[in-house]
Amino acid sequence: MARILILEDENTSRTALVKMLKNISAEITVDAAADLAKARLLLGSTVSFDLFFLDVNLTGEEGDTSGIQFAEEIRSIRKYEFTPLVMITSVAGLEMEAYRRLHCYQYVVKPYIQSEVEEIVRKVLFHLHAGTRPSIMVKRNGVNYKIFCDEIMFCRAIPRGVCLQLKNEQIEVPYLSIHKLLEKLPEGMFFQCHRTFVVNRNAVKYYDLVNQVIQVEGSSEWIDIGVTFKPEVRRILYGEKQN
């Protein structure tokens, strides 16, 4: 879900932009303001915004850069210090000031082009979703690494640590046990099938309860199912079949 605030005083342009944004995704909520007063009320409300579209020139306001003035007010609020700002302009050159001083994400020139607006918003939505993508932090050679959980196919205990088998590489993490690793991983996404193996449920390609092995996508390695873990694997397997 994403919420967008538009500051655009021209009625036709504002209506067109609102329509374009709503057509991109049902997950988008749009709040539109025709002047600074309304925009300030929205900014001070209890809702939070993920993206701003701000017209550089607002009729009736002092000066020619009222949109930039509002952008400065947005940046003065801690939670919006890095929120993407898209400046709207019909005058080439003005956008450069906003870029330098306010770290704007992008600018668009009137009249709006649906494909251009859509590309900007989809990129912002991608980063928003990425922010909620489950991940873990592991330390290796004194450096902390962020690893997305959906990249982990399975994990294996090794002497004095664990080895994470990712989609495209292996990472050995010293001084981390299987038990401590499970505490870091999202509940329900991984399961332990052996005292030395933890597997990503979504990566499993094949269960063989007769021979007590598991195979995951992209790997030819057979992962053992330990005797004490077999009931749990059976429960997961039958639960998946029932779904």
Residue 131's pLDDT is 60
The pLDDT tens digits of the residues spanning 19-66 come to 999 988 888 899 999 999 999 999 999 888 999 999 988 875 454 457
**Chain segment 118-127, per-residue pLDDT in tens:** 888 887 776 6
- Contacts of 218 by beta carbon, 8 Å cutoff, 6+ apart: 153, 167, 203
pTM, full prediction: 0.53
Report whether CATH 1.10.8.60 matches the domain 2-131. Answer: no
Going from N- to C-terminal start, the domains of the chain cover 2-131, 135-242
Task: Please give the pLDDT value at position 189.
Answer: 87
pLDDT 10s digits, 76-87: 998 888 788 888
pLDDT of residue 90: 76
- E strands within 187-237? 190-194, 197-200, 204-208, 213-216, 223-224
Mean pLDDT by 10 residues, the chain (243 residues): 91 94 88 93 90 84 66 89 83 56 71 87 72 79 84 95 93 94 88 96 89 91 94 77 40
pLDDT of residue 105: 66
Domain 135-242 in CATH 3.40.50.2300? The answer is no
Q: Is the dihedral of CA 123, 128, 133, 138 positive or negative?
A: positive
φ and ψ at residue 176, rounded to 5 degrees: -125, 125
